[in-house]
Structure 1
Amino acid sequence: MTRSFPRRGGVLLLVVTLAVLAGCSGRGTEGSTGGYVSGSRFVSLVPVDEREEAPVLEGEDLEGETISSADFAGRTLVVNVWGSWCPPCRKEAPVLQGVAEQYADQGVQFLGLNVRDQTAAARAFEKRIGTTYPSIVDTDGRQQLGFADSLPSQAIPTTWVIDAEGRVAARIIDPDLRASTLSGVIDDVLTSRS
């Protein structure tokens, strides 16, 4: 009996696709909750002299208005990838809002990237949380891919901190994000300006 095996490229593509999907769709896997497989916890801080330029993030917000990260040039920008369907995103949303309020007068702007979500569901979620910062609709993950040259991540949620000079300074991948962790990273970025 002869068996045919897929080509190496097809197998590699399948493995990569499954790895990406495993971050947000596992069922019955140890350590999972609500069908979501939590990722590992990572905080990556980039030394000032090694920071790469951040991508320009642009698109429509949840109200259908055009928005761009360039609108916040000169400010420290905290970018969070989220979806209303994502259990860790639901858990961290009040943390993000609280920290956004805490740093609003210190030149720090928050910006969401809403992925794989229905606009009505995302709006309802933000209204329930009381989110005051904007989000770009990133249904296909294209905005997220803009970080491929600096600190890439396909994990949801992921948070990047971009310094006031427009460089990627930090990335946080933590399914249990705490205000103290995020505040500590923001403080580090604010005090490490060159």
Structure 2
Amino acid sequence: MSRSSRRRGAAVVLALALVVLAACSGRGTEGSTGGYVSASRFVTSVPVEDRTDAPVLEGEDLEGKRISSADFAGKTLVVNVWGSWCPPCRKEAPVLEEVAQQYADRGVQFLGLNVRDQTAAARAFEERIGTTYPSIVDSDGRQQLGFADSLPSQAIPTTWVIDAKGRVAARVIDPELRASTLSGVLDDVLASTS
């Protein structure tokens, strides 16, 4: 691949990342708090026959170790995009941890994608919440872009559920996420692949 082709490819990836990340910033719009623009609540479920393969998510965790979603093959995977700077992320973090603990013995693994954050701030936030699952540092939004062809991220936070066969099964965007909502989605996905 030529140097100019690589540069064009990098420019396209950067432009897409900026578009995705811009969805969570702004001022003066309804639902906005401190520069954060919230999304409307909804759950999008994909029928089994329409599910597509999930992207492989990989990078460094908050401790600098390499991690990949492929490490959890065969499990139902809950992927959450978050940042310690994001008010709804801070609010839903205890809910995610509660559901992660509740479903740990049912073949469900949680994985975070930490965006636009300083690693030290993200680690401090996770320690304060008591988060037990890993997060991949996704400061450039590249990991999120992997969902562009299935259920793209439209806001931060966004949560995807990937079924045990590695297919995108659901997306949840809910700034008021409750454990019952996420549990209901997980129950549906687990039942659909059993």
TM-score by length of 1: 0.87
Q: CA deviation at 1:36?
A: 1.4
1:17–1:49 Cα change, 3 Å: closer
Q: CA deviation at 1:31?
A: 2.2
Corresponding residue for residue 28 of structure 2: 28
**2:73 counterpart letter in structure 1:** A
* Structure 2 SS opposite 1:127: helix
CA contact 1:39–1:155 (8 Å) conserved in 2:
yes
Q: Does 1:46 align with 2:33?
A: no
Q: Does 1:71 align with 2:71?
A: yes
Q: CA deviation at 1:175?
A: 1.1
Corresponding residue for residue 89 of structure 1: 89
CA contact 1:57–1:69 (8 Å) conserved in 2:
yes
* Number of aligned residue pairs: 179
Give per-residue Cα distances to partners, 1:115-143, cap 9 Å, x unaligned.
Answer: 01000000000000000000000000000
Distance in 2 separating the partners of 1:74 and 1:18: 32
Q: CA deviation at 1:42?
A: 1.7
Corresponding residue for residue 189 of structure 2: 189
CA contact 2:83–2:122 (8 Å) conserved in 1:
yes
Q: Which has the larger radius of gyration?
A: 1
CA contact 2:144–2:153 (8 Å) conserved in 1:
yes
Q: Which runs of 5+ in 1 are unaligned?
A: 1-15
Q: Does 1:145 align with 2:141?
A: no
**Could you list the runs of 4 or more consecutive aligned residues of structure 1 that deviate by over 6 angstroms after TM superposition?**
16-19
Q: How does 1:161-172 map to 2 (within 5 A)?
A: 161-172=161-172
Q: CA deviation at 1:180?
A: 0.7
Q: CA deviation at 1:24?
A: 2.1
Q: Which runs of 5+ in 2 are unaligned?
A: 1-15
Q: CA deviation at 1:25?
A: 2.1
Distance in 2 separating the partners of 1:156 and 1:31: 13
Q: CA deviation at 1:174?
A: 1.0
Distance in 1 separating the partners of 2:21 and 2:151: 19
Q: How does 1:3-22 map to 2 (within 5 A)?
A: 20=20
Q: CA deviation at 1:32?
A: 1.7
CA contact 2:20–2:141 (8 Å) conserved in 1:
no
Q: CA deviation at 1:98?
A: 0.4
TM-score by length of 2: 0.87
1:130–1:17 Cα change, 3 Å: closer
